[in-house]
Amino acid sequence: MQHLIPIASGKGGVGKTLLAANLGIALAQQGKTVVLVDLDLGGSNLHTLLGIRNSHPGIGHFIYKQAETLEELLVETPQQRLFLIPGDGLFCGTANLPFHRKQAILKQLPEIPADFIILDLGSGTTYNTLDLFLTSSAGLLVTSPDTTAILNAYSFLKSAMFRLLQRSFPAKSAERHLVLDFLQQKMEGSSLHIQELVTRIRGIHPESGDRARDALGQFRPRVVMNMGRTAQDIGLGGRLRKVVQDNLKSGIEFIACLPQDEMASRSPLERSPTLLRYPECPYSRSIAHCAHRIIQEPAPPPAPLFEDDQDLQELAQRFESLL
Ligand SMILES: Nc1ncnc2c1ncn2[C@@H]1O[C@H](COP(=O)(O)OP(=O)(O)OP(=O)(O)O)[C@@H](O)[C@H]1O
Ligand SMILES: [Mg+2]
* Pocket lining: 12 vs ligand 1, CB cutoff 6 Å: yes
Q: What's the domain range around 176? A: 3-322
H-only helix segments in the chain: 16-29, 46-50, 59-63, 99-108, 127-133, 147-167, 174-187, 194-204, 206-218, 231-235, 237-248, 262-269, 274-277, 282-296, 310-322
Q: What pLDDT, on a 0 to 100 scale, did the predictor assign at position 306?
A: 47
CA of 194 to the centre of ligand 1 (A): 32
Residue nearest ligand 1's atom 3 by CA: 260
**Position with higher pLDDT, 143 vs 241:** 143
* Rounded average pLDDT over 56-73: 94
Q: What CATH code is carried by the domain that includes residue 225?
A: 3.40.50.300
* Pocket lining: 233 vs ligand 1, CB cutoff 6 Å: no
* Pocket lining: 268 vs ligand 1, CB cutoff 6 Å: yes
Q: How far apart are CA 320 and CA 323, in angstroms?
A: 6
Q: How far apart are CA 220 and CA 39, in angstroms?
A: 21
Average pLDDT of the chain? 90
* Pocket lining: 16 vs ligand 1, CB cutoff 6 Å: yes
The number of distinct structural domains making up the chain is 1
pLDDT in tens, 279-316: 999 999 999 999 999 999 987 665 544 455 677 777 87
CA of 172 to the centre of ligand 1 (A): 40
Residue nearest ligand 1's atom 2 by CA: 260
Q: How far apart are CA 236 and CA 251, in angstroms?
A: 15
Q: How far apart are CA 240 and CA 237, in angstroms?
A: 5
**Residues 6 or more apart from 208 whose CB is under 8 A from it?**
169, 175, 201, 202
The angle formed by the CA atoms of residues 21, 317 and 233, to the nearest 5 degrees, is 70
Contact 108, 100 (CB under 8 A): no
